[in-house]
Amino acid sequence: MNDEGLIYCGADIEDPEILCALSDDHRELLSQRNGFVLFNGGLHIRGAVHSPEWHSLRKVWHGDLALHELFPAVEESDVPFGQDCLGDQFLLRSGVVHRLKAEYGKVESLAMDLSTFLDRARENPVEFLSMYPLLQFRSDGGEIEPGQLLNACPPFVIKGDAESVRLKATSMIEQISFLGDFSKQLSNIADGTKVEIKVINWPNSEI
């Protein structure tokens, strides 16, 4: 991949055990470059590291932030290799890339392998990675640092005035934890139901 908007590049491999558990193409990718953050935060590919924690593939696969424990639609065997700027997760399931729409906890197949996914991201990152919130945040003078994601208040899944959505940079760990909790709260609510968002400590909100 090219280095467009590269803001972080992973250090040396610290977790060879997790590397051995990956598919050949995934292992080759991380062997060449042990994860990275591209497009000014639009795409994060995790690495075989223990630290920093936000960059650790192990943490979100088998660790204390395991996605399959936060999101019931994620399977324990799914490899959570990356994420977008809002915390939607990219998973490898039987060699096929799937996307976890984290606000409402649904997994959908993108019907492509890892190599094709990376090519598509390189060709048109804004459209393919739905980077419009990040572009808006940056146009307003904001920047997200490595280890951060964007939090939207109210979340985009809540239908309303798009201009009223506030965006803020928050830690990856905090954002994923929030999305896991939020999607569980939303799971028992029918489409079209009116809800009230109670902001306790943004991004930690209740509905």
Which pairs count as long-range contacts for 70-75, CB under 8 Å and 24+ apart, including other chains? 70/176, 70/177, 70/179, 70/180, 71/100, 71/102, 71/105, 71/107, 71/180, 71/183, 72/105, 73/100, 73/105, 73/106, 73/107, 74/100, 74/107
Query: Which secondary structure element, helix H or strand E, spans residue 18, and what is its range?
Result: helix 16-20
Q: How far apart are the first and last CA of the chain?
A: 40
Give the pLDDT confidence of 95-141 residue by residue, as tens digits. Answer: 999 999 999 999 999 999 999 999 999 999 999 999 999 999 999 99
- pTM to 2 decimal places: 0.90
> Looking at 85-99, 141-155, 164-178, 183-197, which range is the least confident one?
183-197
Domain ranges of the chain: 1-207
